[in-house]
Every structure is written in structure tokens, then in C-alpha cells.
Amino acid sequence: MVGFLGRFSVAPMLGHTDRHCRYFHRLLSRHALLYTEMVTPEAILQGRGDFLAYSPEEQPLALQLGGSHPDTLAECARQAEQRGYAEVNLNVGCPSSRVQQGRFGACLMADAQQVASCVRAMQSQVRIPITVKTRLGIDQHDSYPFLADFVQTVATDGGCKIFIIHARKAWLAGLSPKENREIPPLDYSRVYQLKRDFPHLKIVINGGVKSVMEIKTHLEQVDGVMMGREAYHNPRLLAQIDQTLFDPSARVLPPEAVVEALYPYIERVLQQESSLHRITRHLLGLFHQLPGARRWRRYLSEHGSASQADLSVVMQALALVSAAR
């Protein structure tokens, strides 16, 4: 296996961790492993547009796939490796009804053998790691032995060596995806137990992590921590994590400098295709809990989505923050 990249990562989040978001996150963190949103093999193999496109600056970058057919998943993994992705991850945690209708995501936890077949097919095509992101369990299948059996099968029959565990179960009926990220209780102890029972596997913990201190505590028990919502809504935390976990001598850029570092990227993207809003929507939390944060958010929200909006909107928003600081 290539060296383990997942000591700290930013979670895959549909509608959030697109390429613009990842480019921005990379300015704050040199070391975090970044994940794409979940993409289906159908989109990659038959969709219009290039669903594997990214900027080289985003590396190290992992592609997350949502699917359950070994052949198409394997072909996508092959293309991903060819395009330079550092890892391919299989989503076995999403409980949405659309995903269940497609027979992938969290419902696959009930069929460990199928997950193992998918991982094996993908791994047979590539040298980069094929990883699995899953939950503690689904519906009534939420005992520790159920989780341990799942991991055992996918590791032994599928050859998977890295598991990311969202430390709560999912209810497949009755809860929305959002509720499924909040209502089932977190149980970190089961993830710690997995690491003790499978010391040869890399175990990454996910769910509800909000601070550098919490990350350090988890890292005493498991190999990696994945952070989702907190990293998105409070992105400056990424720089703090980078410094604490990876590089104590790293200079933490002030948020104003991060915005300025984005200028060339924004200009490039606007020339190519995108609207400003597709970039600025990810920046709203940058001044979280700092003076001027509201002005920043409000100005970008009100002016960033106009069809003619250009870099001057970001410059003006920054000037408003600077005046408040």
C-alpha cells in the first residue's frame, strides 16, 4: 500500500466538496486528504461532462464512488488512478432513498459479500488504495459483532485495508439523510474497539468532531480522523489542524491572505465557465467568529450570485471585513 494519507481528512459532502471548495480548502491545509463528493459510475462513464476533473493543486485527493456493480466501479477506479487520484473510496454510508433505490450506499452494509466483490474488482485494476466509508450499522443490525463481521468480510474477501467509520448507525427508513447525521447517537467506543480487534487495518473515525483537541484524543486510539461539517463551516480550523498535526513551523495564513491567494483561481475559473457564486458559496465561513464575519457573508451572498458578478465582488467584501477589523 502507498503511505497512509488519511491521518486527517475532510469528508466527502454532496453539494459541498466540489472542486472549488477543495481548491479553497487546500489553501488552508497542505496535508489534509481531500475527498470529492460522491459520484456514481453512471455519471463518470455515461454522463455529460468530466466528472473526474480537478485542479492539480487539490492533491492529495480521493474520489468517492457510490455504486454496487463491480465492473463499472472497477472501470471508474482504473480511470481515477490514470487521472492521478490518490485513493478511491466506496460509499457504504449514505442512507438517502434515491441511493437505496440504486442499491448502493448504507444499504450495502447488509451485503458484506457484495461490498467485498466491489472492492476486490476495483483493487484488481489499481495500485492506489481502495477504501470503504461506512456506518456502525443499519436499522436493527447495529451490534458490534455485526460491524466486526462486515469489516472482517470486506477486509478478508475484498482486500480492503482502510475503513472510515461514521460512528453512528443509519436508519434506512423514516429519517432523512440530514436526520441520519444527527439523531442516531455517536458511539466512538465501537470504532476504537475495531482498531483493537483489527490492528493490521487502518481505521479512520468520523462524526461530530469539532476541534483540534478532539482530533488528538481520537488519534490516540485510531489511525485517522475525518471531519465534515465543522471543516466546511469553520474552514480556518483546517490551518490550525495542519499546524498542530503535521507542521508546527507552518505559518498560518491570515484569512485575508487566503482570499487574496484565491484571486488568480477565481479569475481563471470565471474566464472558463463558472459563475462567481459557485466559488464564493464555499467561502462564507472563512471569517467565522471574527469581526466583520456577518458583513463578509452578507455581501457575498447578496452580490456573489448576480450573473455578471466578478472578482470585484470578493475584493469589495474583503474591504468591508478589513474595515471592521
Ligand X SMILES: Cc1cc2nc3c(=O)[nH]c(=O)nc-3n(C[C@H](O)[C@H](O)[C@H](O)COP(=O)(O)O)c2cc1C
Got the DSSP string for 101-156? HTT-GGGGGG-HHHHHHHHHHHHTT-SSPEEEEEES-BTTB-SHHHHHHHHHHHHH
94 is catalytic: yes
> By C-beta, is 97 or 124 nearer to ligand X?
97
The residue from 5, 6, 8, 16 that contacts ligand X (CB under 6 A) is 16
Q: How far apart are CA 56 and CA 155, in angstroms?
A: 31
Q: What are the b/e assignments for 268-294, b being 16+ CB within 10 Å?
A: ebbeeeebbbbbbbbbbbbbeeeebbe
The residue from 5, 6, 9, 13 that contacts ligand X (CB under 6 A) is 13
Residues 187-206 that bind ligand X (CB under 6 A): 206
> By C-beta, is 40 or 292 nearer to ligand X?
40
Q: Tell me the β-bridge partners of 166.
A: 135, 206
Residue 267 Cα distances to 68, 112, 274, 276, angstroms: 39, 46, 10, 9
> By C-beta, is 12 or 67 nearer to ligand X?
12
208 scored as a contact of ligand X (CB under 6 A): yes
> By C-beta, is 133 or 195 nearer to ligand X?
133
Answer yes or no: are the C-beta atoms of 201 and 161 closer than 8 Å.
Answer: yes
Q: Which of 259, 222, 216, 260 is nearest to 241 (CA)?
A: 216
93 scored as a contact of ligand X (CB under 6 A): yes
12 scored as a contact of ligand X (CB under 6 A): yes
Residues 32-51 that bind ligand X (CB under 6 A): 37-38
Q: How far apart are CA 162 and CA 32, in angstroms?
A: 16
278 scored as a contact of ligand X (CB under 6 A): no
- Rounded to a whole number of angstroms, the minimum distance from the CB of residue 95 to ligand X is 10
Angle at 85 between CA 125 and CA 115, to 5 degrees: 50
**# residues contacting ligand X (CB under 6 A):** 23
User: Could you tell me what percentage of the chain is helix, strand and coil, using 3-state DSSP and rounding each to the nearest 5?
Assistant: 45, 15, 40
Kindly name the residue from 76, 94, 118, 160 that is annotated as catalytic: 94
Residues 122-151 that bind ligand X (CB under 6 A): 133
Tell me which stretch binds ligand X (CB under 6 A): 7-15, 21-29, 40-48, 293-301. Answer: 7-15
229 scored as a contact of ligand X (CB under 6 A): yes
11 scored as a contact of ligand X (CB under 6 A): yes
Give me the sign of the Cα torsion angle 228, 150, 139, 187: negative
- Rounded to a whole number of angstroms, the minimum distance from the CB of residue 21 to ligand X is 11
181 scored as a contact of ligand X (CB under 6 A): yes
Question: Applying CB under 6 A, which residues contact ligand X?
Answer: 11-16, 37-38, 64, 91, 93-94, 133, 166, 181, 206-209, 227-230
Catalytic residues: 94
